[in-house]
Structure 1
């Protein structure tokens, strides 16, 4: 019962966040890049950090945050990880690292997941990112750009994203 309440609260939160979104900085040049990843689908985060060189960014300017539905029994050293239990039944987030990630003003935030996921959708909707990029299959209301590519084809994704960001004058 609490899970249903949690998901309903998250959907309401998403709707509210979509209405209050500030798009005044949507055309700013890319200096910071964030990835919000569904860890059940993609686990090779080092390849995402390598995007810094590809987009001419400093390594410190690329951040990756992951979501895992159920916390593993094995201890993890990842502190940039979010779980189902980090949200209460009202849909409120209780993970300080996740709150900092959401509040960071990324120039480009990539939602690196393809299925409907209320937890990741709520984080994307609540994010202060200027420009949001998603992969086809995700909720189109949340993103400014959707790229239709297989999530496991990271090289293809990086190439497509670079092409669009160049056209939009976010990178040179």
Structure 2
């Protein structure tokens, strides 16, 4: 139990270090690739994010959705849990590590729970523009859409509206 609290403390320290180094890069690049981090303890469906990707004109092969769950019995390869994280926020899962090292144009962090592991996924991602609904820490996301977790249609409309204003959506 003591080791677990030390692990949490080291991960929090690493998260603060990552967030203090983070810099917002202002550019007019269009979003062509999209990553999504979802808390499966809060929502169950992935398919709504494919609809959002379609609305944003993202090619299906340029959209990657991963889920996080605190439950240990997950069989899907796109679902990760607590045992995939080590000390100092090291990632033990190769697929998750690959996801975090990919340079996505945008990342959507769709979770409302204040879990350290979800924050680490958002902070460690190499995405250039980060969108989220968790207003607890402004340093995590570049754009925060303050909606409830079950109001996905409102979130989708707001994301489309703001990305249009910011000139981030491709014109095809």
TM-score, L = length of structure 2: 0.90
**Structure 1 residue 31: Cα displacement:** 0.4
Secondary structure of the residue aligned to 1:60 is helix
- CA distance in structure 1 between the aligned counterparts of 2:35 and 2:104, rounded to whole angstroms: 6
- The aligned counterpart of 1:135 is 133
**Structure 1 residue 52: Cα displacement:** 2.3
Give the gaps of 5 or more residues in structure 2: none
- The aligned counterpart of 1:107 is 105
**Structure 1 residue 127: Cα displacement:** 1.0
The verdict on how the C-alpha distance between 1:156 and 1:129 changes in structure 2, with shifts beyond 3 A counting, is same
- CA distance in structure 1 between the aligned counterparts of 2:122 and 2:28, rounded to whole angstroms: 18
CA contact (8 A) 1:36 1:109 kept: yes
TM-score, L = length of structure 1: 0.90
CA contact (8 A) 2:24 2:142 kept: no
CA contact (8 A) 1:36 1:64 kept: yes
- The aligned counterpart of 2:161 is 163
Give the gaps of 5 or more residues in structure 1: none
**Structure 1 residue 27: Cα displacement:** 4.0
**Structure 1 residue 19: Cα displacement:** 3.0
Determine if the alignment matches structure 1 residue 15 to structure 2 residue 16. yes
Secondary structure of the residue aligned to 2:139 is helix
CA contact (8 A) 1:34 1:64 kept: yes
CA contact (8 A) 2:14 2:88 kept: no
Name segments (4+ residues, structure 1) moved above 4 Å: none
